[in-house]
Structure 1
Amino acid sequence: MADRPRNGGPEDGRPHDSGRAGGQDAPYGWLYGKDRGGAREPRPEETRVMPVQPRDGARPRTPAASQPPRGPGAPPPRSPAPPPAAPGRPPRRSRRFPRPRARWVLLLLLAWLAYLVVVPVLAWNDVEKVDFEPRDNRPPEQPGTTYLLVGSDSRSDLSPAERRRLGTGGAEGQRTDTIMLLHTGSGPNLLMSIPRDSTIDIPGHGTSKINAAYAFGGPRLLTRTIEDATGIRIDHYVEIGMGGLAGVVDAVGGIEICPDEAMVDPQAKLDIEAGCQEVDGPTALGYARSRKTYERFGDTQRAQAQREVVSAVGREVLSPWTVLNPFRYWNLMTSVPGFFAFGENTGPVRAAMWALAMTRVNGDAGLTCGVPISDLAVTWDSERAPRMFQAIIEDDTDSIPRQLCTPTGLPKEVTG
């Protein structure tokens, strides 16, 4: 298209080039606001560019002309920012998978938990079950839970070499070397020893020492004898064989005992000094069953030592190291079937609850007592013993005073 003429016109005060207007520009006069005769006409409205409306969620394009020119050293243009998320829809997050090291740790943790569960379940399948519940004439159901813990002096399951090592004597005889009642409930746990030399009425066999009940009729007659004499209903039964105590002590790596004086008993393979010390299985067994060193105290001091050993074993069994050490855990769990027997109504969970309760019978956590007696002949106190039994029956161990719960069972004024 020809350039717009630069010569003036009437509007700018310069003479109009009539030759050009009427000449070659005449046909295009309408474009410059002139008619064919030279008169000015109004110019048509210039064409406008309508802005392009972006679609929803789309970013309007930036004209290339609006971008600043880039020189030789200019940085490359920035990539456009991601479009904003649609309203009402959460932004998409990238998935992050755990690192390989974290996955291995998780797998090892799961394997360890499985080991802790599977080992005792497999061991429990080999545990001996005992029918201990009397058939009739039992006390009614009572609040709380009472366990009968029996240490049997049967030696029939020990080899001659084991009997010599443990100092247990011959294989004849089967009596209860230890008798304890453990009560758990709303108050503090209570562990009460019953002296094996207690003279008591045994159903069908007259008056005799209480440990003879086991020899006459096994666990069932022993349970019946205790229930008749105390009025306390026995809910669960736990029996430890002669070699069981030594085996468990060795399985947990030994226990601590604190005798008040030096003890020497060749028959029990015992030779220890006074004071707290770590001992192995055979020594712990001799400490719990020695009769020679406790002669002047009768059976009361011996029962106290037995409670000390049982409580120490319970603490070691439930210590964190027992769980964290796989070899110690394996030795402990696999030693249970050979040394322990449980009542037929006791399962692995209840057995674990019993073991846990045995760790909470010392100090402020519980009470350890001898059955209330009036003399060293272990005659049950006719006034104090029924009070103790009634507190257990009513699950009211909180009300038991210290003068009623003494280590030997004797009144406080006698022991002090």
Structure 2
Amino acid sequence: MSAESTPGPGISGPGTKATSHRRSHGTHGTGRRALRVTAWTAAGILVLGGAGVGYLYFKLNGNLKTVDINQMLGSDRPAKADNGSENILVLGSDTRSGANRKLGGGADDGSARSDTAMIVHVYKGHRKAAVVSVPRDTLIDRPACTDAHGTRHSAATGVMFNSAYSTGGAACAVRTVEAMTGIRMDHYLEVDFSGFQKLIDELGGVQVTTTKAIDDPESHLDLKAGTHTLDGRQALGLVRTRHGVGDGSDLGRIQLQQAFVKALTDQVEQVGVFTSPKKLYNLADTATKAVTTDSDLGSVNSLIDFADGLKSISSKNMHMVTMPVEYDPSNPNRVVVAEAKAKRVWKALKNDEPIPASATKGTATGQAKGVVTS
């Protein structure tokens, strides 16, 4: 949802707390969400971390939207890890109205969608991280959950992962991820895709190298092979593109998104935000308008403390994978969890261990790896 839009399910207005709750092969809405992932985890967090913006706290606090995940989910959740690690669900969301309607297309119906999700595991010591992308069209069993209006939604079998968010909002998405993984999500971050475009423009663009030409009219992207400095609209097109690379699936798009996150992480400290107070303020203002957090991170103070613990993580210390999946034999436009391999991923994260390469080897990929490099 955009900064200007009405708060959606489970999201409170600026500066307040939410009291209630809040969709790989499919439409191009997926990329929008990943953008937010990119925008906040890589840009907002790193820039706010250690940046000394105390005099702006009150104004920036007023930009933030929060959702009280703990209150909505109660005590029926996996136990918190006691090994010094943290797990964050980073979600992309949008409404089909306002600025998002212009950027994303589709009906101006005011509905909210989430097509990209990343589970970020920060290892003990906060110098390394693992990022697991969850394809939106993965068929899963969704647990029962309650939406922002107090309506109880029954559990469902064989539905797409992204239906959790569209059904019950942020809290339902968190409950679904926790049910899938057995891992407690310590924090929730959601980034708006129109805000992502503004963030990239505030950063002065992001440099990527494409090893193949990308031409996708649906995402308004036309790049020749070579090095490019992408502005916000081009970056949005890159992380949304599906038909321009690989096998045209959302799995391929996820690989582009992961490459872009790494490029953004590498470059955010090189664009002058730490030496220009005006640039820092503009970026922080844009980021806090674009992001929705869990209530524990619902202040600039909390975000800076959180970010300060992550700023040592560079792209070379960020292991990015896609949740092990296989194409659904009855529907090539859907994927199903490769259960045995996925369990190895979740076990590694629970134990604060590296994800073994064998856990993702031989699973569906989308064939877009290496198309974009930083």
Q: State whether TM-score is above 0.5.
A: yes
1:149 aligns with 90
* 1:174 pairs with 2:109: no
Q: TM-score, normalised by structure 2?
A: 0.70
The superposition leaves residues 300-323 of structure 1 with CA deviations (integer Å, 9 ceiling, x where unpaired) of: 111122223333334444447211
Structure 2 matches for 1:79-158, cutoff 5 A? 116-119=53-56, 122-133=59-70, 134-142=73-81, 143=83, 144-156=85-97, 158=98
* 1:404 pairs with 2:326: no
* 1:279 pairs with 2:217: no
2:335 aligns with 378
**Counterparts of 1:359 and 1:211, CA distance in 2:** 31
Count of equivalent residues: 295
CA displacement at 1:131 relative to structure 2: 2.4
* Higher strand content, 1 or 2: 2
CA displacement at 1:294 relative to structure 2: 4.4
Larger Rg: 1
**Counterparts of 2:311 and 2:95, CA distance in 1:** 23
Structure 1 residues 379 and 260: CA distance shift in structure 2, 3 A: farther
Amino acid at match of 1:327: K
RMSD between aligned residues: 3.0
**Counterparts of 1:276 and 1:306, CA distance in 2:** 17
Amino acid at match of 1:180: M
The superposition leaves residues 59-107 of structure 1 with CA deviations (integer Å, 9 ceiling, x where unpaired) of: xxxxxxxxxxxxxxxxxxxxxxxxxxxxxxxxxxxxxxxxxxxxxxxxx
- Whether the 8 Å contact between 1:249 and 1:280 is mirrored in structure 2 is yes
**Counterparts of 1:117 and 1:186, CA distance in 2:** 28
1:217 aligns with 168
- Whether the 8 Å contact between 2:134 and 2:322 is mirrored in structure 1 is yes
Structure 2 matches for 1:388-399, cutoff 5 A? 388-397=345-354
Structure 1 residues 287 and 192: CA distance shift in structure 2, 3 A: same
CA displacement at 1:263 relative to structure 2: 1.5
The superposition leaves residues 301-347 of structure 1 with CA deviations (integer Å, 9 ceiling, x where unpaired) of: 11122223333334444447211022321210111232111111114
**Counterparts of 2:227 and 2:203, CA distance in 1:** 18
* 1:323 pairs with 2:274: yes
2:313 aligns with 360
1:239 aligns with 190
**Counterparts of 1:241 and 1:320, CA distance in 2:** 22
- Which one has more relative contact order, counting CA pairs under 8 Å at least 6 apart? 2
**Counterparts of 2:307 and 2:52, CA distance in 1:** 22
Amino acid at match of 1:148: L
Structure 1 residues 344 and 283: CA distance shift in structure 2, 3 A: same
Structure 1 residues 248 and 116: CA distance shift in structure 2, 3 A: same
The superposition leaves residues 172-229 of structure 1 with CA deviations (integer Å, 9 ceiling, x where unpaired) of: 3322121001111227310110001111111224131111111100000010011001
- Give 3-state SS (helix, strand or coil) of 2:293's partner: strand
CA displacement at 1:149 relative to structure 2: 0.4
Structure 1 residues 196 and 259: CA distance shift in structure 2, 3 A: farther
Q: TM-score, normalised by structure 1?
A: 0.64
CA displacement at 1:117 relative to structure 2: 2.8
- Give 3-state SS (helix, strand or coil) of 1:153's partner: strand
2:221 aligns with 270
- Give 3-state SS (helix, strand or coil) of 1:179's partner: strand
CA displacement at 1:170 relative to structure 2: 3.2
Structure 1 residues 320 and 225: CA distance shift in structure 2, 3 A: same
- Whether the 8 Å contact between 1:119 and 1:333 is mirrored in structure 2 is no
- The more displaced of 192-201 and 343-352 is 343-352
CA displacement at 1:349 relative to structure 2: 4.9
Structure 1 residues 145 and 241: CA distance shift in structure 2, 3 A: same
- Whether the 8 Å contact between 2:60 and 2:300 is mirrored in structure 1 is no
- Give 3-state SS (helix, strand or coil) of 2:63's partner: coil
- Whether the 8 Å contact between 1:240 and 1:339 is mirrored in structure 2 is yes
- Whether the 8 Å contact between 1:145 and 1:184 is mirrored in structure 2 is yes
Structure 2 matches for 1:282-321, cutoff 5 A? 282-294=233-245, 296-319=247-270, 321=272
**Counterparts of 1:269 and 1:309, CA distance in 2:** 17
**Counterparts of 1:380 and 1:227, CA distance in 2:** 15
Structure 2 matches for 1:177-196, cutoff 5 A? 177-186=115-124, 188-196=128-136
Structure 1 residues 383 and 354: CA distance shift in structure 2, 3 A: farther
- Give 3-state SS (helix, strand or coil) of 2:274's partner: helix
CA displacement at 1:235 relative to structure 2: 0.4
- Whether the 8 Å contact between 1:154 and 1:242 is mirrored in structure 2 is no
**Counterparts of 1:114 and 1:355, CA distance in 2:** 9
- Give 3-state SS (helix, strand or coil) of 2:352's partner: coil
- Give 3-state SS (helix, strand or coil) of 1:223's partner: helix
Structure 1 residues 359 and 287: CA distance shift in structure 2, 3 A: farther
2:181 aligns with 230
